Amino acid sequence: MTALEIHDAIVPIIGGAVALLAGLVLWLGWRLRALGRAVRITQIDESTKTFAEHEQSLRQLRAEQVRLTAKLTEVDRLIATAVRHVGVVRYDAFREMGGKLSFSVAFLDDRGDGVVLTALNGRDGARAYAKAVADGRSTVPLSDEEKRALSIARETRAGTDAVASV
């Protein structure tokens, strides 16, 4: 076989291979464009899904905010009725006793409702008294020490207490 014959036999094979490769390149380009469209559609779907998820999260947060606001209102109502103001006065109720072992304690809520407790300690025993308080005033007469404990309790900031000795 001569070089010309070999050349004539190889040219159609190379031409066929080139045509086949060109067809393969065109097909791959078409598949790449189709894949690009699919990726964009998927990204749009994911973005839409994300927005929907965010909207659902916002709805849940709003519902939680409403629930917590109602709970906070209830807590504020309960705190107003809790003992938050305390005043203590220690003193010697009897001449023969020292050490200021007797005391009067006023416990009040934010409205001034509560109780004054008094313990009088002596050598022969102890006596205890409880006197109701409504709107900052006792329903029964108070001793000077009980009045002072009540005054201290009304003057203290919520959550603190004050102790005085007479």
Tell me, what's the pLDDT at 47?
61
Tell me, what's the pLDDT at 114?
94
What is the token pair recorded at 104? 């009067």
**Measured at the alpha carbon of residue 101, what is the angle toward residues 100 and 105, in degrees to the nearest 5?**
95
The phi-psi region of residue 112 (left if phi > 0; otherwise alpha if psi is between -120 and 50; otherwise beta) is left
Long-range contacts of 80-84 (CB under 8 A, 24+ apart): 80/109, 80/110, 80/111, 81/109, 81/110, 81/111, 81/113, 82/109, 83/107, 83/108, 83/109, 83/114, 84/108, 84/109, 84/110, 84/158, 84/159
Tell me, what's the pLDDT at 130?
95
Element (H, E) at 84: none
Q: Where are the domains of the chain?
A: 1-80, 85-165
Interatomic CA distance for residues 106 and 133, integer angstroms: 9
**Sequential pLDDT tens for the chain (166 residues):** 666 666 667 777 788 888 888 888 888 888 888 887 777 766 665 566 677 888 888 999 999 999 999 999 998 888 888 888 999 999 988 877 677 889 999 999 989 999 999 999 888 888 999 999 999 899 899 999 999 999 999 988 765 555 666 6
| CB contact set of 85 (below 8 Å; sequence gap of 6+) | 106, 107, 108, 109, 110, 114, 153, 154, 156, 158, 161
What global pTM score does this model have? 0.57
pLDDT tens string 42-74: 666 556 667 788 888 899 999 999 999 999 999
Residue type, 100: K
Gyration radius of the chain over CA positions: 45
